Structure 1
Amino acid sequence: MKQDFMCVIPARFGSSRLPGKPLLLLAGKPLVQWAWESATASDAGEVVIATDDRRIAAAAEGFGARVVMTRDDHPSGTDRLAEVAESLQLSDDQVVVNLQGDEPSVSPRLLNQVAQLLIEHSDASMSTLSEAIHDPADFDNPNVVKVVRADTGRALYFSRASIPFSRDGDQPLFEGLVQRHLGLYGYRAGLLRRFVGWPESALERTEKLEQLRVLQAGEGIWIAEACAPSSPGIDTQAQLDSLNRQWAGQ
């Protein structure tokens, strides 16, 4: 059953590592189309592709997507979402789920889950998901963002550091205390409006994690363990080539 949340897919043409990424083909379809199809299979009442590029807009309209054109100078996808909220005059309570356009196989169940967290927790401004870490190499990898949360589900902190730290050195990873953050977010439109008015926070600048701007401002982020396996994004041509071969059964 469709729910009262909107899914927005930010898609920008410029990318230092993979220019034109949203339009690159995976199994014959643009990456952004795979993301859109995942979103339309979710319970979202509406799915929008937000882009600053007419080529992406033309491709998206060609496969039936609704497109909102945005500025080309946004520093982050969150800023792009905030412009969409203003452009569409969304109410402050409207739930908006952000799906990256380079995640071609994300489970629609995850989109529903991150939206449901906001629907169930009226005091939450933002929501996201995590999954257990079992590999010690991931725990020590600064490119794997870790998160700790309260028993209520409220996020306590996100870090590139190895948290929580085991003072006695005997805390096994598989007990579930160590969680990897997944880059899938739900927002209330009002939070998006407030976010772009806040300056970059000291924690955000230090860790290079924009969700820390929200925590440092005193806003609540609710987090739950993902109900389905996560979907890796595509950042390089080699990753795209590998996935094309995999999907082709080679």
Structure 2
Amino acid sequence: MKIISMIPARYSASRFPGKLMQDLGGKTVILQTYQATVATNLFDDVIVVTDSTVIYDEIATNGGKVMLSKKEHDCGSDRIAEAIEHLDVDVVVNVQGDEPFTDEVSLRKLIAVFKEDTKKEVDLASLMVHISNEDEIKNPNTVKVVLDNKNFALYFSRSPIPYPRDTSVAVKYYKHKGVYAFRKDALLDFYRLPMLTLEASEKLEQLRYLEYGKRIKMVETSVEGVEIDTPEDLERAKKLWK
């Protein structure tokens, strides 16, 4: 089984343009993410795929592997799909360019899902973190996921799910981390299928997989790190990095 990691890296982020080129511990965010992923030694290859010549040059001049997208893309999955369409791979792990704290233990858990899935019942695997802070549960920038009894995703939402109508029920809330592992065929299906209403409404690309009947196995991790979406996130990341 050939397993690679692809790191989609868009320069013009809506909330924090140029965030991937910001300094974190003496290197740019995107370079820290790339080097941390390589250092896990879990992958046959690690490649950054970007729409930006600035990011391309940053990775290339530091000895990394990088590809330039040929088309405009609305999401990271599309960008990766274009890049791997003609590559000989079985499983692709998407590490977000703004997640420099993604760790080896969590990635190893994702890869294990596919190595143990002899019946090929899993199309995707992704990470989640248990959360209990009420503000985080209500925050629309924190994407929540609910599961069936085998840890397959039932739904993702920016809203608090499940809704706590009965507060006496001990419900656990999970935050979805944007780290995915795909079977190549599932990713290419995503690339070729049109967006439907749930994805369009919530602006969550993982809902396209669910709407078309794909199965997403969720894997719990205790490593949360920091997703750098805002300047405030970057300051938190700098403190954590130290």
- Whether these two folds match at TM > 0.5 is yes
Q: Match for residue 99 of structure 1? A: 95
Task: Tell me how large the CA RMSD over aligned residues is.
Answer: 2.0
Cα 1:156–1:24 change in 2 (3 A) is same
Q: Match for residue 171 of structure 1? A: 169
SS of match in other structure, 1:68: strand
Q: Distance in 2 between matches of 1:232 and 1:44?
A: 23
Count residues in correspondence: 239
1:195 to 2:214 alignment: no
Shift in Å, 1:68: 1.4
Aligned counterpart in structure 1 of residue 18 of structure 2, from 11, 17, 20: 20
Q: Distance in 1 between matches of 2:10 and 2:43?
A: 22
Q: Which string of whole-angstrom CA distances, capped at 9 and with x for unpartnered residues, describes residues 70-108 of structure 1?
A: 13511111100101112x4234xx111111111122212
Q: Distance in 2 between matches of 1:126 and 1:71?
A: 25
Q: Match for residue 110 of structure 2? A: 114
TM-score if structure 2 supplies the norm length?
Answer: 0.90
Q: Match for residue 76 of structure 1? A: 75
Shift in Å, 1:245: 5.3
Amino acid across the alignment from 1:139 = I
- The 8 Å contact of residues 7 and 48 in structure 1, kept in 2 or not, is answered as yes
Shift in Å, 1:160: 2.0
Q: Distance in 2 between matches of 1:239 and 1:142?
A: 16
Cα 1:113–1:54 change in 2 (3 A) is same
Q: Match for residue 216 of structure 2? A: 221
Q: Match for residue 7 of structure 2? A: 9
TM-score if structure 1 supplies the norm length?
Answer: 0.87
SS of match in other structure, 1:44: coil
1:233 to 2:227 alignment: yes
Q: Distance in 2 between matches of 1:233 and 1:68?
A: 23
SS of match in other structure, 1:7: strand
Cα 1:230–1:217 change in 2 (3 A) is same
Shift in Å, 1:242: 4.7
Q: Which string of whole-angstrom CA distances, capped at 9 and with x for unpartnered residues, describes residues 105-160 of structure 1?
A: 22122222222223322211111111212122222222222211122221111122
Cα 1:171–1:239 change in 2 (3 A) is same
Q: Distance in 2 between matches of 1:231 and 1:200?
A: 30
Of all paired residues, the percent bearing the same amino acid is 34
Cα 1:158–1:16 change in 2 (3 A) is closer
- The 8 Å contact of residues 39 and 111 in structure 1, kept in 2 or not, is answered as no
Q: Match for residue 52 of structure 1? A: 51
1:209 to 2:200 alignment: no
Query: Structure 2 regions of 5+ residues with no counterpart?
Result: none
Q: Distance in 2 between matches of 1:203 and 1:15?
A: 22
Query: Structure 1 regions of 5+ residues with no counterpart?
Result: none
1:61 to 2:55 alignment: no
Q: Distance in 1 between matches of 2:224 and 2:218?
A: 15
Shift in Å, 1:7: 0.7
Q: Distance in 2 between matches of 1:136 and 1:245?
A: 23
Q: Distance in 1 between matches of 2:232 and 2:131?
A: 25
Q: Which string of whole-angstrom CA distances, capped at 9 and with x for unpartnered residues, describes residues 9-38 of structure 1?
A: 111222233333222221211111110121
Matches of residues 144-155 of structure 1 in structure 2 within 5 Å?
A: 144-155=142-153
